[in-house]
Amino acid sequence: MADPQPFEAALAELESRVTRLERGDLDLEEALRLFEEGVALVRECHEKLDAAESRIVALTAGSGSPGSDGSVQETEIHKNGSGF
């Protein structure tokens, strides 16, 4: 989990851990380990979704419509969420 991975891969890993936890046949230590990994995966997925949302907002920001030639301008998103 240390290496960045695509959103879909992180979500699949999270679903796998949830399935194993829901079976209820794990000892406490294994369940806690899977839960901790799941929490990390949830955070990773949220970060990826937030980044995607920021990109969408940046692409659709401005006058509310594309340029006169039909193009859109991408704006760099800073950590505080603004394009400035």
Q: What's the CATH code of the domain at 16?
A: 1.10.287
Residue 24 inside a domain? The answer is yes
Domain count along the chain: 1
Residue 67 inside a domain? The answer is no
Domain that holds residue 34: 7-60
Residue 68 inside a domain? The answer is no
Q: So what's the pLDDT on residue 80? A: 56
Residue 27 inside a domain? The answer is yes
Residue 78 inside a domain? The answer is no
Task: 41-50: list long-range contacts, CB under 8 Å, 24+ apart.
Answer: 41/1, 41/10, 41/11, 41/13, 41/14, 41/17, 42/14, 44/1, 44/5, 44/10, 45/7, 45/10, 45/11, 45/14, 48/7, 48/10, 49/7
Residue 2 inside a domain? The answer is no
Q: So what's the pLDDT on residue 18? A: 98
Q: So what's the pLDDT on residue 72? A: 58
Global confidence as pTM: 0.68
State the Cα–Cα distance between residues 31 and 23, nearest whole angstrom. Answer: 10
Q: Please report, in tens digits, the pLDDT of each residue of the chain (84 residues total).
A: 556 799 999 999 999 999 999 999 999 999 999 999 999 999 999 999 999 999 999 998 865 555 556 565 666 666 655 444
